[in-house]
Amino acid sequence: MSEKVAVIGGGSWGCALAHVIASNGYPVVLYVRRPEQAEEIRTKHTNQRYLKDYPLSHNIHPTTNLEDAAPCQTIVMVVPSKAFRETSRKMGDFLKPDQILLSATKGIEPGTHLRMSDVIKEETACLKVGAISGPNLALEVMAGHPTATIVASRYNEVVAAGMQILNSTTFRAYGSQDIVGVELAGALKNVMALAAGIITGIGYGANTRSFLISRGLSELIRMGNHYSVDPMTLSGLAGVGDLIVTCNSEQSRNFQVGKRLGQGETLSDILGSMQQVAEGIRTTQSAYELAKDFREPFPIIEIMYKIIYQGMNIEEAKLHLLGRPMHYEHEPSRVIPQREKKPLPPASGQ
């Protein structure tokens, strides 16, 4: 195959995707920011800072010049959400409307509440936009563990192009036209992963984590209803699939941050020690803003916002969540009155 594909972003997920695509026979132009990282990938075919000793395909050609990616017909954006707009704006100077841009970044921009594909459309001339999302841990992809993902777009041409460059015997790509649902689920599950990490750090087990994941999915569904998301999207790889892996794996950066919070570390110390971005921190702010706009209770999102941005301690957060009024599982408005608990009479003989 001679058709080049560009991947923008040299973190763990960007390099893993570049490796998958390159292993399928496509020459990959991989944009990274640091010259020393480009040199390592070029000469040693590794990215030890993010992917340990896993070897990268020799079909990957690193560059520190964004313009080198411009001639590629298909481009995959894998930069942190906080840098996504700026990088898209810079890319926009070189791109044409008929090129295909796929976002593999999971986030919602604070303030604007835009998904990453929306940012692409604002900052570039590209019309053929899509998203890649699913239960995809980079190290397991590099290890060759069977993995599946979703390529979503309103355009069949974009879905087909994404599936063709990604699909292999160990990496299965499925298509979807519900790009809103796929991106929304991919972003919001990181908030739930922070919460799952916290309850694990406290010392709670599988019962509590299952409780959290189930109620977290309920919040994803309610948020999705405001965007007319297809419920099947949230029950599939981009929703339940990604939620399960991110809320259970030590490889999940968001889970790790939450776990360390639950063990008593401060957020500033945790973030200062990390080499990669935990997208759930930024997304928590966006999700909270959306929850306020919709004027509907999203208890986990609200509590996570208070923990991260308002300094609520973990014990107070736990009491707040478990002390909420009793109600029907899928009908929060159907509240059951709490019966007044009278003190027990003294035991006989006392």
Domains of the chain, by residue range, sit at: 5-177, 186-328
Cα→Cα distances 317→56, 204, 306, Å: 43, 15, 8
CATH of 186-328, one of 1.10.1040.10, 3.40.47.10, 1.20.120.1770, 1.10.3720.10: 1.10.1040.10
Q: Is 121 known to be catalytic?
A: no
Q: Is pLDDT above 80 for 329?
A: no
pLDDT for the residue numbered 347: 60
d(CA 50, CA 7): 16
3-state helix, strand, coil in the chain (%, to 5): 50, 15, 35
List the end-to-end C-alpha distance of the chain, in Å, as a whole number.
88
Q: CA of 148: how far to CAs of 8, 192, 241, 325, in Å?
A: 21, 21, 9, 39
From 52, 189, 259, 318, active-site residue: 189
The pLDDT, as a whole number, for residue 177 is 97
| CATH code assigned to 5-177 | 3.40.50.720
- Same CATH topology for 5-177 and 186-328: the answer is no
Determine contact, residues 27/5, Cβ cutoff 8 Å: yes
Number of residues that make up the chain: 350
- pLDDT band of residue 315 (cuts 50, 70, 90) is confident
pLDDT band at 275 (very low <50, low <70, confident <90, very high): confident
Above pLDDT 90, what percent of the chain?
86
pLDDT tens profile 135-179: 999 999 999 999 999 999 999 999 999 999 999 999 999 999 999
Which H or E run includes 129?
strand 128-133
